Amino acid sequence: METYNTSGINPTLMKLLYDTTPEELIAINGIVKDLADEQIQQFVMIYRTKRKDPQTILLCCLLGFVCVAGIHRFLVGEIGMGILYVLTGGLCLIGTIVDAVNHKTIALDYNQKMVAETMVMMNLGRR
């Protein structure tokens, strides 16, 4: 008996990106919906090396309470904010608390940038 995907998500994409958040998977599906399976596999291979896991962002953010604040900002490429957090102690820990609450949004924003960058690398996206 066959099973059908009623979610509208490409089955190849679901199989290859099993560890992504639902929001991330929906966003990626909307971008790669017109690609062939081989192109999707190539996209996923490149994208998986670039994406950041929200749990990694959270762990690095929590290091700001015991060690050096701002590591998570360096991790997502926000060098200026990272330096600011290091010099101000995570903006007196208030910024670190806010970032700990919003770690999924920080990861999703970064990952969406990496989706666009990957599409441009594959010569499939807008420049």
Higher pLDDT: 73 or 14? It is 73
* Half-sphere exposure for 125 (CA within 13 Å, toward CB): 17
Q: State the average pLDDT over residues 22-33.
A: 91
Compute the distance between CA of residue 121 and CA of residue 115 in angstroms, rounded to an integer: 10
Q: Which two tokens stand for residue 40?
A: 């999707």
**Domain residue limits, the chain:** 11-121
Sequence letter at residue 36:
A
> 38-86, pLDDT tens digit by residue?
999 999 999 999 999 999 999 999 999 999 999 999 999 999 999 999 9
Average pLDDT rounded to a whole number, residues 95-106? 96
How far is residue 6's CA from residue 117's CA, in Å, rounded to a whole number? 29
